[in-house]
Structure 1
C-alpha cells in the first residue's frame, strides 16, 4: 500500500468521523430546539398505536438515530413509562424516522447547489457566526444545527473524494458482484457492518457514498440495506441485556419487526431481480437508495401494523416471563427509580422530563408517608409508626438515586433553561427528603405517645387535626405543582404556608395556656409542641418546592 493509498484511507476515516460528529451536533441542536415539544411527544404515548408510530417517527427525525430511539424505548419499558403495545408503535415509527438521515445524505445529488463542497462551508460559516456573536439562546441553537449540518456534508464530501480515485478498481466491482449474486451474504454484510459501528445512519451513509461514485449495483444495495435494518437492532439488544423481561421483549419486537420486513422485501426483490437481470446489475445512486429505504420502512409498517399484538405475543414466547421475578419487581418498585433509566439519557430532553416525573414520584411517596405519620400521631397506632420508618428508608434511597441520575443529566448537552430545571430538581429532591425526615420525627413522637400512654385533650386533638389538614394540603399542592406546572397550585401552597405559620403561633400560645392551667400533662405538651413545629417545617419545604416551580414558569 502506497503513501497515497494510506492518505486516502485516513481521509475516508476522517470523513466518516466528521459525518458522525456533524450528525451528533445537529441532533443535539434539534433536541434543544424541540424543548417542551419532547414532553408533548411523551404525552402522546397512549395506547393508540397510530399516535405511537407518529411519535416514533418524530423523535427519530429529531435525534437522527433509530438506534437511539429504540434504546430509549427499552429504557421507557424498563422504567414502566411505556407498555409493549406503545413500544411497538414507537419502534415502527423509528424505522420511518431514520429515513430522514438517508435523504439528508442524498441531498448532494439533488442538484449542483446542494453539493457538499458548495454548500457546507457557507453553512458552517453562518452557523459559527451565529454561535459566536448572538446573545439569544434560541439563535445559538440554530447556529449549532447549521454547524452540524455543514460538518456532516464536509465529512460526506471527504468520504466521497477518498473513494473517487478507486471507483474503477476491480475490488469494488468484484465485491459488489459477489454480494449481488448472494443475497444472504449481502444481508449479513449490511447487518454485521451496522452492528459493529452501531449506527444505521453511518452504514447507510457509507453505502450512499459508494453509490455516489457509481460502484454499487441495485441488487447488492437493496440486500445490504435490508441487512442494515436488521443490524440496527443490535444496539437495542445489547442495551436490554441488563434490563427487565419487558424491556428485553421490546428489543426482541424491534428485531422481529425488522427481520420480518427484510424477509418479505427480500423475497419480493429477489423475484423482481430474477426476471429483470439488467435492472439488478445496473448502478444505483444515493437518491434511489433513499427512495427504496423510505418505501421499505413505510410499507413494512403498513403491512405489520395490524399484527402489533401478535408481535407482542411472539416476543413473550421468545422471552418467557418469570412470575417470581415479576412479584419481586412489584415489591421492589417502591425503592427503585420508576421513571429513570440510563438508556433514556440518549435524549437529554426526555431525560429532563422524566427526572421531573421521578422527583414527583418521590414526592408522592413523601406525601403518603406524611399522611400516615399524622394518622399514627392522632390514633396512637404503633403499626403505622413502623410503616412510616420503613417508607422513610425508601425516600432516602430515592433521593440518593435521583441525585446520582441528575448529575449524569447535568453533564449532557442541555439548554440554560434545562440546566436551571435540573438544579431546581436537586433542591426539590432535598426538600422532599426533609419532608420525609419531619414525617419520621412525627412518627417518633407518635411512638413516644404510644409507649407512654399519652392522650391529647379534646381541644388539643381538634387543633392538631386542623393544622395537620392544612399542612398536608400544602405539601400535596407543592407536588401537584411539579407535575402540572400550574401556577394555581403554587398560589395554594403560599396560602397554606401562611395559614400553618399563623396557626403554629396561635396553637403554641393556646397549649402553653393549657399547661399553665394544668389541663394537660407536661409530656403531652412537649409532644404537641414538637408535632406542630415539625408541621410548620413541612409547610416551609412545600413553600420552597413551589418557589422552584414558579421560577421555572417565569
Structure 2
C-alpha cells in the first residue's frame, strides 16, 4: 500500500520540478545516470567475482577485525555497500557466517563508503570527468560483447564506472547552472534546528534514491558550487547515513530470521550514531578541524573537510559500538526469536531468501541448509510414525529401551504436519531452485539438480512413513507377541540407521565419517527377508494371520524405502560435500545417481 502511494508521489513531484525549472533537468539527469552506473557496477562485480568474493567472505571473517577489514576493503573497491549487504545477508542466512561476523562486515562497509567522498573531494570536481568517462564507456561496451563471464563482468564494471563519472559531471554542471537561477544558501538554517532539518532531507533523499553514496555526491556537488553551507552539508551527510537503514529494513522483509537481525543491527547502529552525531555536531566539527589541520587541509577546502567529517563520525560510531556488540546480539536474539517445532509453525522457511538468488554460491548454500531443515523435520515425522521419541532415538539408550519408552506426546499428526508444513517447504525449495538456475552455470545447475533429487528422497521417506504409521501403531500394541516382535525388529533397524546418519552428519573426524557410512550401508544391505515359506509356517502354526502376513510384507517394503531414501539424501547432499568420503566412496557426481539405482535394485531383490 505504501509503495503504491510513495512511488506515484515521487514521480508527480519530480515531473513538476522538471517542468517548472529547466536547470533542474541537468541535475536530475546526472543523478539518474549516476544511479544507473551504480546498478551496472554491481552487476559487473557479481559476474566478475565468479565465486571468489563469496569464498573470501566465507573464509576470512572469523574474527571481528577480519570482518571489519572485509567490509572496508570490498566497499572501497566496489563503491557499493548495498552489494556487500546483500552478500552478507545471503551468507548469514545460509549459516556460513555468524551474526557477530555479519555485523562486523556491515560496520566495515559503513567506513568503506567514506572512500568515495575522499576520491570525489580530491579529484572528482577538479578534473574533466566527462573526458575520462567516454573512453571507459567505450572499452566497457567492447568487453561485454566478448565471450566469457569474467570478460562480460569486467565490461559491466567499466560501464558502471563510466556512468558514475558521467553522472557526477552532469550533477556538477547542473549545480553550476542552478546557482545562477536560485541561491539555495538563502534557505540555510543554523544551529540544532538546521542540523535536524537537513539531516531529515538527507534521509529522504537516500530513501528515494536507495543510495547514500548518491546523496553524498549530490551534497559534495552542491557544496562545490556554494549552493549549501558547510554546516548544512554535514547534517545532510548524517541524514544519508541514517537513510541507508531503510533499504536494509525493506530488504529484510524477505530474509530469514538472521537477515532481520542483521537489518535490526544496521538500523540501530546507523540511527544511534546519527543521533549522537547531531547532538555533538559542534564537537565533531572541532575534531574535524583539528584533523584537517594535521592533514594540511585549508579551512577553505570545504569538500575535503566534509570527507574528513564523514570519516570521523563513522569511525567514531564503530569505536563506540564495538564494546556493546555482544549485548546488541543478545537484544536482537530476544526481539527476533526462532520458533520451536510444532504443527502451527512447521511451515516456516528458515533459510531461503531472495538476496541469496543474486549470488549462485549463496543460493546453493541456502538450498542445502533448507534441505537439512526439511530432513530434520522428516526425522521427527519418521520417529512419530514409528511411535518413538525422537530425542530418545538420538540418545545412547538401547534400542529396546527406546521402544519401551514409546512416542513423544507432542500432538503432532503426520498428515497434518505434512499438509501444513512439509509440502510448503518442499514446494518453496523447488520454486527457489528454478529461480536459482537462471543465474547459474552448468556446474551449479548440476548441484541444484542434486539438491532437488535429495528433497525428492526426503518426501518419499515421509510418504513411506505415512503408509507405515497405521499398522505400526496397531501391531506394536498388539497382544500377539509374534507380530509385535516383527514390527519391533523393523523399528530397531531404523533406529540404528537414523542414529548412524545423525553421527555421520555431525562428525568432523574423517575416519568416523567413513566408519558410519559403511555401517549405514551394512544396515541397509542386511534387510530382513520375509520369504513365503517362512510366513506360511507362521500362519500354519497360528502365530500370525493371513492379514498380518500381508501387512508385514508391505510394511517391510515401506521400512526399506525409508532407509533407502534417507541414505540417498546422505549420499547426494552431504557426502558429496565431504571430499575425503567422496574420494573413498565415489569417483564422480554421476556415480551418486548410479549408486541410488543400485541400492534400490538390491533392496527390491532382497525383499
The TM tier, using the shorter chain, reads 0.7 to 0.9
Match of 1:358 in 2: 370
Secondary structure at the aligned position of 2:351 is classed as coil
The Cα shift of 1:350 comes to: 4.1
The Cα shift of 1:23 comes to: 1.2
1:16 corresponds to 2:31: yes
1:441 corresponds to 2:462: no
Residues 179 and 12 of structure 1, relative CA distance in 2, 3 Å threshold: farther
Cα distance in 1 for partners of 2:449, 2:465 equals 25
Does the CA-based 8 Å contact 1:79-1:338 persist in structure 2?
no
Residues 295 and 220 of structure 1, relative CA distance in 2, 3 Å threshold: same
The Cα shift of 1:69 comes to: 5.9
> Per-residue displacement from partner, 1:376-433 (whole Å, max 9, x unpaired)?
598498746975726545333322343444455556x555655554454444333322
Question: 2:424 pairs with 393, 397, 404, which one?
Answer: 397
Q: How many residues align?
A: 533
Match of 1:41 in 2: 57
> Where is the helix percentage greater, Structure 1 or Structure 2?
1
Does the CA-based 8 Å contact 1:227-1:262 persist in structure 2?
no
Q: Which has the higher contact order (CA 8 A, sep 6+)?
A: 1
Match of 2:602 in 1: none
Secondary structure at the aligned position of 1:133 is classed as coil
The Cα shift of 1:446 comes to: 0.8
Match of 1:109 in 2: 124
Secondary structure at the aligned position of 2:302 is classed as coil
> Per-residue displacement from partner, 1:307-340 (whole Å, max 9, x unpaired)?
4456668x78xx9x68xx9697675664412234
1:295 corresponds to 2:287: no
Secondary structure at the aligned position of 1:337 is classed as coil
Cα distance in 2 for partners of 1:273, 1:327 equals 44
Match of 1:149 in 2: 161
Match of 1:229 in 2: 241
Residues 467-478 of structure 1: pairs in structure 2 closer than 5 A? 468=494, 471-472=497-498
Secondary structure at the aligned position of 2:538 is classed as coil
The Cα shift of 1:203 comes to: 0.9
Provide the TM-score with structure 2 as the length reference: 0.69
Cα distance in 1 for partners of 2:18, 2:43 equals 37
Cα distance in 2 for partners of 1:418, 1:514 equals 50
Residues 502-517 of structure 1: pairs in structure 2 closer than 5 A? 502-504=525-527, 507-508=528-529, 510-517=530-537
1:370 corresponds to 2:396: no
Gaps of 5+ in 2: 1-15, 389-398, 580-588, 590-607
Root-mean-square deviation (Å)? 5.1
Provide the TM-score with structure 1 as the length reference: 0.74
The Cα shift of 1:200 comes to: 0.8
> Per-residue displacement from partner, 1:444-480 (whole Å, max 9, x unpaired)?
3312424655555799579746753675478658967
Cα distance in 2 for partners of 1:419, 1:153 equals 37
Cα distance in 2 for partners of 1:273, 1:97 equals 18
Residues 164-243 of structure 1: pairs in structure 2 closer than 5 A? 164-175=176-187, 182-211=194-223, 213=225, 215=227, 217-237=229-249
Match of 1:125 in 2: 138
Match of 2:599 in 1: none
Cα distance in 2 for partners of 1:60, 1:145 equals 14
Cα distance in 1 for partners of 2:223, 2:69 equals 30
